[in-house]
Amino acid sequence: MLFFVANVNAAKSDFFGERDVVAAKEGGQLLLSPGAANLTQRGLEHIVARHWFTSGAKGAGKFLEGTTARGLKDMIGTATTKGAFRPNTFGRMGTIAEYNFGNVIGTTSKGLPASNLRVVIGTSGNVISAFPF
């Protein structure tokens, strides 16, 4: 296993700003350690389209009504600093971070109360998607 330090500070819109992150490269997957995810405008728009309480997307987890962009960023920050990490599946790039908040943050794909957050992080360290489950 090869460990290296990556500086993930390229995007001006990054919520987390400049920070060095420790990353591990394993089997072609970039496994980011806690603190590595950046929520860009594009990532935010993707999440809003599919997982916001206003979204009509079927079969997808939704955030609680009243969730703000700031609240979402905070939750992503928590999940990517305190959560459990695993590689993305079937050749999908990047890493998945999951965290249980211990309180309801939204609904699962079945519409049941959800307290877990899954964050999909690309190899660049940007958030691809995030949703409650």
Residues that bind another protein (CB under 8 A): 46, 50-51, 57-61, 89-94, 108-110, 116, 118, 120, 122, 128-129, 131, 133
| Closer by beta carbon to another protein, 20 or else 132 | 132
Give the integer Cα–Cα distance in Å for 132 and 118. 6
| Closer by beta carbon to another protein, 43 or else 73 | 43
| Closer by beta carbon to another protein, 78 or else 109 | 109
Closest distance between another protein and the C-beta of residue 59, in Å? 4
| Closer by beta carbon to another protein, 1 or else 102 | 102
What percent helix, strand, coil does the chain show, rounded to 5? Answer: 20, 35, 45
Closest distance between another protein and the C-beta of residue 117, in Å? 11
Give the integer Cα–Cα distance in Å for 124 and 133. 24
- What DSSP state is assigned to residue 1? -
Closest distance between another protein and the C-beta of residue 85, in Å? 15
Q: Residues near 7 by Cβ (< 8 Å), separated by ≥ 6?
A: 18, 19, 20, 21
Closest distance between another protein and the C-beta of residue 122, in Å? 5
Q: Residues near 77 by Cβ (< 8 Å), separated by ≥ 6?
A: 15, 16, 37
